[in-house]
Amino acid sequence: MEFLGDPVVAHGVVERRVDIPCEDRVVPAVVWTPADASGARPLVLIGHGGTGHKRMDYVLALARRLTRHRGFAVAAIDGPGHGDRKGAVDRKTWMSKPVIESMNADWKATRAALADLPEVGDGPLGYWGLSMGTMFGVPFVASEPSVRVAVLGLGGAIGQRYTASAADIRCPVLFLQQLDDELVPRASALELFLAIGSADKRLHAHPGPHIAVPPEEFEQSEAFLAQHLEA
C-alpha cells in the first residue's frame, strides 16, 4: 500500500489518497478517518455510480458525514474504467464475470490493506453503493460474509446469475428506488430487491429520476449503517 501526496485535513476529517496492490493491478483509493482516530473502528466502503469516480460529490459528502458524525473510517475506490482507471476496461464488459470477480478482489484487498492501519483496524464492515455501486456491490456483499450492513439501490435485475447472487446476501439491507428512474425500470428494481436474501431488507421509494435521490436518504443511510455497525 502506497500513500500519494500529503494528507488533507479539514473540519476534523483526514483524507488520504492511496494505491493498493491487488493481483496484477493497482487499485486507486481514498480513505477518510477522524483527525483524532486511534484504534479499530467501523469501516464503510462506498461504491460510486457510473461515469463517476472515488471523489465525486456525493461520495465525498457521505464519507465526510460518516467520519464526522460517527467516527467511522470510510474508503472509496475507482471502478473499472473510471477515475484513475479510465481505459483499463471496456465499459461494454462491466458486468462480465471476470470484471465482477476482479472488483470483488479489489474491495477485499482494500479492506485488508486498511485493516493494517492503526486508526482503522479490523472493525465492523459496511457497504454503501447506488447505481453502478449496486451493480458491483451486490456480488461483493453476497461474497463477503464480514459485511454487516449494506445500502444499495438504483439498480435492477440484470440476468439470472446476477439475481441469484443477490439471494446470497444475508446482512440487513436498505434499498433505495426512484419511481421515475429513466435508467432502471420499476419492475426491474423491485425484482432485484425481492431477490435479496436478507431477512431484514427495507425499500425506500421516492418520485423523481435516477439522480434525484432526496437528501434525507443520506441521513437515513447514516442512521441505518450506524444502527448495525455501532451495535
pLDDT for residue 92: 64
Q: Can you read off the three cell numbers belonging to residue 38?
A: 486511534
**Which whole number is the average pLDDT over 102-120?**
96
Q: Are 174 and 221 in contact (CB under 8 A)?
A: yes
The fraction of the chain above a pLDDT of 70, given in percent, is 97
Q: Quick check: 25 pLDDT over 80?
A: yes
All domains of the chain in start order, with CATH: 2-229 (3.40.50.1820)
pLDDT for residue 116: 96
Q: What are phi and psi of 100, to 5 degrees?
A: -60, -45
Q: Count Cα atoms within 13 angstroms, Cβ side, for 160.
A: 0
Which H or E run contains 44?
A: strand 43-47
pLDDT for residue 162: 81
pLDDT for residue 163: 85
Dump pLDDT digits (tens) for 139-183.
999 999 999 999 999 999 987 778 889 999 999 999 999 999 999
Question: Rounded mean pLDDT of the chain?
Answer: 94
Considering the entire predicted model, what is its pTM? 0.96
The fraction of the chain above a pLDDT of 90, given in percent, is 87
**Which whole number is the average pLDDT over 94-115?**
92
**Which whole number is the average pLDDT over 93-116?**
91
Amino acid letter at 165? S
